[in-house]
């Protein structure tokens, strides 16, 4: 037995099913929307928004990331720990993460 899966796309505005339906994105008040439209419906959307687009300011693309903003680290800076470590005979790299043992030694000395 052969199974055939058919995906039918329809215009979200008119309900018309068509192979020409495309997905379009727009944003308003910081919320991004996605809508499936035939070329005719897209032309209507474009015509309705055109006066606002022409008078608006372009601010760039919306960036979607999964990154979480973190607060600044609490405690001594890496440069302070490195300077102390060098003065006290520890071998330490100029860049990168300061080893935990060095941070603990710095904290114990202060």
Cα Rg of the chain (Å, integer): 29
Task: State both tokens at 14.
Answer: 């008119």
Helices (H), 10-96: 39-55, 78-87
Distance CA 10, CA 20 (A): 9
Residue partners of 10: CB distance under 8 A and separation at least 6 = 16, 17, 18, 21, 36
Q: Mean pLDDT for each 10-residue chunk of the chain (110 residues)?
A: 87 94 92 94 96 89 65 77 92 86 89
| End-to-end alpha carbon distance in the chain | 77
Question: Which of these, 82, 110, 105, lies nearest to 95 by C-alpha position?
Answer: 82
What is the reported pLDDT for 75?
A: 77
Neighbours of 80 (CB within 10 A): 13
Ordered domains of the chain (ranges, CATH): 7-59 (3.30.60.230), 78-109 (4.10.320.10)
Phi/psi of residue 27, each to 5°? -130, 140
What is the reported pLDDT for 92?
A: 87
């Amino acid at each position: 037995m052969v199974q055939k899966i058919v995906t039918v796309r329809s215009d979200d505005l008119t309900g018309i099913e068509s192979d020409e339906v495309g997905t379009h994105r727009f944003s308003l008040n910081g919320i991004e929307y996605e809508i499936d439209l035939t070329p005719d419906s897209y032309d209507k959307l474009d015509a309705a928004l055109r006066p606002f687009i022409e008078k608006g300011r372009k601010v760039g693309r919306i960036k979607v990331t999964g990154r979480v903003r973190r607060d600044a680290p609490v405690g001594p800076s890496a440069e302070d720990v490195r300077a102390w470590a060098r003065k006290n005979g520890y071998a330490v790299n100029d860049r990168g993460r300061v080893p935990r043992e060095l941070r603990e030694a710095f904290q114990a000395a202060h």
